[in-house]
Structure 1
Amino acid sequence: MAPHHASTLPQDPDDDCDDSHLLDRAPSHPIACMQGAFDESIVEAQRAVDYDDQDTLDDPKARRQRLIEDDDYGDSYTAQWRKKNPTAKWHPLWKLVAQISFGVHLLNQQLAKSDKEVSNILKRHVQELDIFLERTTEDFDLALVDIKERISHLKLPLEHVNIFDIMLDDHQFRTSIVDGNEKIEKIVERTARAMNDSLMDVEKGIDAIQELSKYLAAIGCGWADGDEEIMGIYMAMCQNSEGWLECLRSLQQKGNDLGVALVQLGSILNEISKRAGVASRRSVVRHSLCSLDTS
């Protein structure tokens, strides 16, 4: 997959990486609010900043397992942004969409040295956005299944609290419950952090795609009349932006559902911890009474 910072502009290999020099040359972006993101994407292209983590796991189950086991793991754009370029001002998805819209602008204004080259770059950018949506959907779905399964498993003893409280009087059982709770609390914390990062990606993605959609509507399709290939690219981009927005809004709902499930799981863990604490104090009292009886 091509990195999203692949510039639609020709680049001189002898250029240095001085930011001011690059920004002096940056062309005007057709979407005014994307100028800053576009400028930053050009600088990052020269610096070879890549938010596409090459160590990212393609299998959603493997990603979920690594998230559970590794406190530092995070492959969302927001997480990569925080790790790789914390001084950047613009979210990576804004920079990706800024590049996409600028590619359409080059075709619209007939500024491209090669329409085919611009088309190929657009396809790579589109593919990256599609992969982001696919992976985020997989991660949300798998996390939701995992958390719901844990809720189902843990709420069972709370449906039979009389028996559960008696079982908690056993020190070994109580210790295993407390240890298990601590592990699950870490899973909840890591899942919540990953969810918040992904929801930030989704929010920024919606904002950026809405700007792209407005731009595509503003230029219309008249400019592509008579050129079947260019018309095909324009219509595909309109369909893409519509589909991306629909998917992003669906992801927002999935994220909200996951957030509700995490709160529910946290509440169950708190109730179990509270009952384990009561059982522990009950055990101390019994031990004290036994000591008095034998004295």
Structure 2
Amino acid sequence: MKNFALVGAAGYIAPRHMKAIKETNNQLVAAYDPYDGVGIMDSFFPNADFFVEFERFDRHIEKLKRNNTPLDFVSVCSPNYLHDSHIRFGLRRDADVICEKPIVLNPWNIDALEDVEKESKGNIYTILQLRHHPSIVALKQKVEEGDPDKIYDIDLSYLTSRGHWYYTSWKGDVSKSGGIATNIGVHFYDMLTWVFGPVISNTVHIHTHDRAAGYLELEKARVRWFLSINYDTIPEAIKAKGMRTYRSITVDGQEIEFSGGFTDLHTVSYQHIINGTGYRIGDTRQAIEIVHDIRNKEAIGLTGDYHPLAKGELAKHPFSRD
């Protein structure tokens, strides 16, 4: 049984990490979050110690070490801009670190962390759960076994409504979240490059506070993508069903069904990490480079091969650079 500490216990994604720790038959011994609304811990680890001040959390972890209680893993679910610091904390405690995506906001942060990792006893792992999804694994196998010269046409659409709270939270601050492409798109970019190969070109058509659209040319695919957190952009047929989220990936016009199974993929990811076969920080580089480039490119407007859902959006919401 491995001992875990968790940084960011009150966040949206934290319960999936708690569930993964429990379902892999391990123990959460301590957790930290400046917000104390963490009653969800009772469903998984009611006896775990909890702290709202990082200094006291740090002191407790040191106490465990001096009492010969090993800390095997630190799971990081904090806001994006704090990942770098919290990963370093885990490595300094001689623990392996499991960090949510995006693991960092900029490619050079990966370089720095890899240097620290080499000097440490621990390793840095991340959650790239779509690489474990059966539909995506099957797609990758199909591409690898198919015509080596074939270039696939991909449409990626991810529209997930967010309320006014979003813009008050750290997620609405580009300097802290990395913007919409980083916040809700990074795992899709990772999946696409994992399946279809590295980036050849990266074009941004629209980039505002609540939506982004662009075109990625990959080694084996042409990808039109559209991301939005604005309910108004959701297709009317989806709204009519009472749904506030629309997620779609088509390959050569055929829908890839991957809506189910998401809640169990963190457990699968944890099992691979504990077995020594999890994804390392270097595996995240391509996706981090993509979102960094999107964040810093000038949006060119609706020219060239843009996503169908982006049509008409410029008149309502002029594009801007985050």
TM class by shorter chain equals under 0.3
Q: Which has the higher contact order (CA 8 A, sep 6+)?
A: 1
TM-score with structure 1 setting the length: 0.23
TM-score with structure 2 setting the length: 0.22
Q: Which structure shows the higher helix fraction?
A: 1
Q: Which structure shows the higher strand fraction?
A: 2
